[in-house]
Amino acid sequence: MKTSKLYTKTYSYKELTDTVDSILTGPKRVVFSMFADTTNKEYKPSQPDDWIVDAPDFGSTQPVIKGKVQFMIDYWRVTDQPILSEVYLNPTWVDIANACNDLLKDGDGNGVFLEGFSKGKTTNGVTVYEFCIGS
């Protein structure tokens, strides 16, 4: 995945965390860690010493991935075998964050970071993307 296309908004790290927390449905289980140091030299954070990052625009209604998609987690702190999300049609960043958060419901819930996702196989018109999880 090319970060230049994915990371279209500049935030302070606190703003990013607060934004993601505000869009999650249900208990927070994931820490969103898909971001890069900013190249936006004009951005002024509310806290002068806050880390400035480029990340996805969670206010966008544009699909991140076009078509039918399922997300998968296969991470030892969550499951002994792969688990799949519901099928999404043209998921947005809000859908992606919530899909990951929902799939983590059976994990230990401590310090689980969404660091990215990678495209897998397409079967019957549905493409599976595996979440890259760290701790």
The pLDDT assigned to 107 comes to: 58
State which residues form the domain around 70: 3-134
- How do residues 118-134 score in pLDDT, each as one tens digit? 999 999 999 999 998 87
Mean pLDDT per 10-residue run, the chain (135 residues)?
Answer: 69 89 87 82 70 89 95 76 93 94 71 87 96 83
- Tell me the C-alpha distance between 98 and 95, whole Å: 5
| The pLDDT of residue 6 | 80
Q: In what order do the strands lie in the sheet with 9-12?
A: 9-12, 52-55, 36-37
Give the pLDDT score at 12.
Answer: 87
Q: pTM here?
A: 0.85
The β-bridge partners of 71 are 129
- Amino acid 49: pLDDT: 63
pLDDT of amino acid 48: 64
DSSP 91: -
Q: Are 128 and 72 contacting, i.e. CB atoms less than 8 angstroms apart?
A: yes
Asked if 57 and 93 touch (Cβ cutoff 8 Å), the reply is: yes
Instruction: Report which of 77, 85, 70 is spatially closest to residue 113, judged by C-alpha positions.
Output: 77
* Closest by Cα among 72, 49, 44, 52 to 7: 52
On whether the CB atoms of residues 125 and 70 are closer than 8 A, the answer is no
How many domains does one find in the chain? 1
